[in-house]
Every structure is written in structure tokens, then in C-alpha cells.
Amino acid sequence: MLVDRAFRKGTGSLAWAFCLLLAGNLAAAEPEKDPVTKLVKAENWELVSANCMACHSTKGFTQVRQNRANWEKTIRNMQEKNGLWPLGEMESKILDYLEKNYGLPEKALTAKIRRPLGD
């Protein structure tokens, strides 16, 4: 009985250690985000912050997943209908950032989310 209790206690400690290790690995896989904007801190995130957050909260566009062509369509639509200024040479850098950090996942995130059929 004493050995059985010690074994269960040891197994429980081992299980907790495994859970903590797993949680640490999951947290490490999460990209670093800016605490103010909540944008992924990757190359050109400051350009996105300066140009997109002038009108949007990050909640609005960071929850969207689009391929590069659709991000570009979104920018064109905002330029035509909402007065977004010309982005010039910044546009390709912004598109690079959006595609890499807020693009379509290779696999659906859940069974209910499907990739679009076409562009």
C-alpha cells in the first residue's frame, strides 16, 4: 500500500512535470508579439503598425487569414473606397509581412475552417 501510494505520487509528479514541459514548448512556439499593438514582431511589423493601425485595431485584421493576392485586393479596396494613401515601395514589405504572419495556414485551423476554393 505504501509503495502503491508512493508510485502514484511519483507518477503524478512526473505527469505535472510533463505538462509543464509541454506548456513551455507550446509557449515557445508562439511568435513574439508587440505588447501594445499585439502584432507579431517580425520584419516590417512597424510598417504595418504605422499604416494599418491608423484606421484599424489589430483585432480587425489580425484575425483575418488571406493569401497575398487577397491582401493586395484588400489594400486596393481600401485605397479606392476608404482613402488609404499610396503605399509606394512599402506595399511589397507590408504584403510580405501580412502573407507570412497572417496568411493562409497550410492546413485548416479547425475542421470547420476551410481554405477558399480559389482566388
The whole-model pTM stands at: 0.66
Residues 56 and 37 in one domain: yes
Q: How many domains does the chain have?
A: 2
Residues 13 and 51 in one domain: no
pLDDT tens track for 52-105: 888 888 777 788 899 999 999 999 999 999 999 999 999 999 999 999 999 998
- The helix or strand, by DSSP H or E, that contains position 81, with its residue range, turns out to be helix 68-82
Q: pLDDT at residue 31 above 60?
A: yes
103 vs 112, which has greater pLDDT?
Answer: 103
Residues 65 and 102 in one domain: yes
- The pLDDT, as a whole number, for residue 39 is 93
Full domain range(s) for residue 94: 32-119
Q: In whole angstroms, give the CA distance from residue 16 to residue 30.
A: 21
Mean pLDDT (the chain) is 79
